[in-house]
Amino acid sequence: MDTTVKSIKSVGVLCSGGDSPGMNAAVRSVVRTAIGLGIDVFGIYKGYSGLLEGNIQRLGLTSVSNIIQRGGTILDTSRCLEFHTPEIRLEAAHILSRKHIDGLVVIGGNGSFAGAMELHIEHGVPVIGIPGTIDNDISGTEYTIGFNTAVQTAVDAVDKIRDTASAHARTFLIEVMGHRSSSIALQVGVCTGAEHVVLSNQVINYDKIAGDIKKGAERGKTSSIIIVAEREKSGLSYQIKEVLMNQYAIAVHACVLGHIQRGGSPTALDRLIASRMGYAAAHALHQGLQAHVTAINNGQLVMVPLAECLEGKNEAPEPELDLISALAI
């Protein structure tokens, strides 16, 4: 690995993993800031897969016009499993060098950051990560771009379902995304006045769920909302529904919100944080910083070593759970 810090003349920017609302705002910010610093910017389309295919185009100031409000990503994205292979990363490093791309901004989640770290360690590519995932599950940062929009989308959906729950006196199990993280479920639970939240890493306590529903019914509640955090795969809420019906004689409806949570126009918060992070990422590369992530800590934007952001976040769900049960009595 060549450890000499070269001045950056051109950077590539890519989105990787699941899209999240606000990625476009981050791309726009990287592009405009870098150009302002005299750096050429190349958009790498379809994440690491596109990098390997050489799907790369120069981006100008107007190529990112009118995108700050759009969900998805104009650069497209992919989950590139072959990037876990060293030979494939060598190929990627060759492509970057052939295209004279001196540094890389990777907008994505844990898996995308792991690929960026390897590329840096093995081939000395200066990389800066911008946390972009609705799951808010990256260690080293309190916030990932897209989380707020996903929570708002899920809250809006649950509010609508609550109308039916109330009109028909029904209990609904509503499953939200998160992929092993309960971050979305906990905020949605608080903001929708849910009776209960089933965490993604918890042994399911059916007695407690059934008890909470019955307790609510005894004191006159005619409907209940239970938020379920998805696990490795979605669909847990159907399993819980079967158990409640068959073993506790409680009729419930299950609803998996799914990809609706990933799309849509980013909230102001996601646009703001994405814009700040894109600006910081371009400046970081310009100043010679390598293998860092634009992170939010104690509400402030800071640069955190990429190595600290590769693990899933340790969740501390107790305060939210206590709040939910205190307000659901």
Active site residues: 135
In terms of CB distance, is 81 or 90 closer to ligand F6P? 81
Give the count of residues interacting with ligand F6P (CB under 6 A). 10
Q: Looking at beta carbons only, is 132 or 216 nearer to ligand F6P? A: 132
What sign for the dihedral angle of Cα 223, 228, 234, 238?
negative
List of residues 6+ apart from 290 with CB closer than 8 A = 5, 103, 120, 126, 127, 128
Question: H helices within 183-259, ranges in order?
Answer: 183-191, 206-218, 236-248
Looking at the Cβ atoms of 109 and 278, the one nearer to ligand F6P is 109
Which token pair is 251? 């009729």
Shortest distance, position 108 Cβ to ligand F6P, whole Å: 9
Instruction: Look up residue 83 and give its DSSP letter.
Output: G
Q: Taking phi first (over 0 means left), then psi (-120 to 50 degrees means alpha), and beta for anything else, what does residue 17 get?
A: left
Helices and strands in the chain, H and E counts: 10, 11
Tokens encoding 300: 């402030």
Q: Which is nearer to ligand F6P, 43 or 108 (CB)?
A: 108
CB-wise, 177 or 225, nearer to ligand F6P? 177
- Comparing CB distances to ligand F6P, the nearer of 179 and 241 is 179
Binding of ligand F6P by 186 (CB under 6 A):
no
18 is a site residue for ligand F6P (CB under 6 A): yes
Q: How far is CA 239 from the centre of its chain?
A: 26
Of residues 105, 43, 108, 100, the one with CA closest to residue 80:
108
The two three-digit tokens of residue 310, written as one number: 């590769």
User: Angle formed by the axes of helices 268-286 and 23-36, to 10°?
Assistant: 40
- Give the one residue of 43, 115, 140, 178 binding ligand F6P; rule: CB under 6 A: 178
Cβ at position 226, least distance to ligand F6P in Å: 19
Q: Which one of residues 24, 133, 187, 223 is an interface residue with ligand F6P (CB under 6 A)?
A: 133
Binding segment for ligand F6P among 113-121, 131-139, 267-275, 309-317 (CB under 6 A)?
A: 131-139
For residues 260 and 267, what is the distance between their CA atoms, to the nearest angstrom? 15
Among 135, 175, 315, 320, binds ligand F6P (CB under 6 A): 135
- Interface map 196-235 toward ligand F6P (x if CB under 6 A): ----------------------------------x-----
φ/ψ (deg, to 5) at 43: -85, 130
Q: Which stretch binds ligand F6P (CB under 6 A): 31-39, 133-141, 158-166, 189-197?
A: 133-141
CA distance 273 to 297: 12
Q: How far is the CB of 299 from ligand F6P (least distance, A)?
A: 24
Asked if 134 interacts with ligand F6P (CB under 6 A), we say yes
Pick from 262, 271, 286, 313 the residue near ligand F6P by CB under 6 A. Answer: 262
Q: Footprint of ligand F6P on this chain (CB under 6 A)?
A: 18, 109, 133-135, 177-179, 230, 262
